[in-house]
Structure 1
Amino acid sequence: AILAWDEKLRYGVKKAGYHGGASLQEITVPVIVLDYRGRPDLAGWRLASPQVPTWWNDPLVSRRQLSSVEAQLAAAITTGRRQKGGGSKAGPPAPEGFESLLPELTQAGPAVAAPLTALPAGAGGGGLVDRLLGSPVYAAQRARAGRRALGDDVVAAVLRVLLARGGRAHRETVAAAAGVPVGGLEPRLAALRRLLNVEGYTVVGEDADGVTIVLDEKLLAEQFELGR
């Protein structure tokens, strides 16, 4: 089936229970396997990290650029609006129906959630994270933690997700970055605090809402002597 991407786009007269485009609920088929809490792991199976999209719990953090086609449509929509308002006539109006199809294109463009992994170079505080992993203070903290120390790859993934979101992220977002189920996040957070909360200062903590993990970027830079 070929369907319009916006459920608000209609092919005929508006009436109850009818829409023209497809909605996410109509094309999504979730599959999930449930297990008893606390039961020993089944051979060949492991608990999954959170599968919710990043925009489900956290604010949107980036915007995509309009494609050339979308930009042309946005310009046509704007021109059509000016003509309706009595402005000067210039160029053909947008095709009928496209104004409802692309309602946000005359603004800044629809926001999209940032990916959890493979952030582009320089995004998500990559430079700060790299300096942290190479700092003498961090090396001393790792030595002090011993075998309980969290892996550098997990530390980097969690910090990049937090930095990309202004120092605040939902527990499920952090768990997905760490590659663990939400139930397995607390031991990782405890290990992360042992590494980063130097001398008891709260570099990594938890918001009063009980679900938001908080990173103090300024304190992180100060405690590990990372500069700006």
Structure 2
Amino acid sequence: LAGEWLDRVGLGDFGKRRPGQLSGGQAQRVALARALATDPALLLLDEPLAALDARTRLDTRVELHRHLAGLAGPAVLVTHDPVDALMLADRLVVVEDGRAVQEGDGESVTARPRTDYIARLVGLNLYRGTASGRTVRLASGEVLATSEALEGDSFAAFAPSAVALFRSEPDGSPRNTWRAVVAGVHRHGDHLRVQLDGPFRAAADVTPAAAAHLGLEPGQEVWAAVKAAEIRAYPA
């Protein structure tokens, strides 16, 4: 049984190694195999994938997900990695400053974040304001046109990929437009993540070609635009 679990975590040839002969990541995988091998009635996992390299983390996550799906009892996973949480958990509880601020399944939490921290984790721009019909007025006085009609205290959220950047004010009425200042530009996957300051802070994702065309650099003034259909509004 021990050899079988070592195989599952990619350490089938390490059965005769002493603890001091293992790297931190290897020791982490041995600890995971040891916990799973007992078929526990209650499984507590505290950052089980934290010490693993990217490739090993991916493989171990898949194997752990398979085992958790067949576990008869409950499992509690503590992690700072949103990917681990979304891939492994049926229900999420997000804790900030020792207080649970949101809970639900992965779809509801990622679609409707309720704090700036959660919005950053799932990659959304999030604002809170007062809704009236299809607009949300923010505390700064700015108004966002949205895709849903609501009344009262509300959140408005949109993805960085929904933000278009221009050198001058764009034409067209159905979009939210505002002047912004580029606060920073850094690589984000295949795109560049542009941090914007202005009436309200936002993140925008653009292609390297678009960034080169706009000549984006910190301190530069640009116009940002988001279509109302791209902004999701929901009760706060």
Q: TM-score, normalised by structure 1?
A: 0.24
Question: Radius of gyration: which is bigger?
Answer: 1
- Larger strand share, 1 or 2: 2
Q: TM-score, normalised by structure 2?
A: 0.24
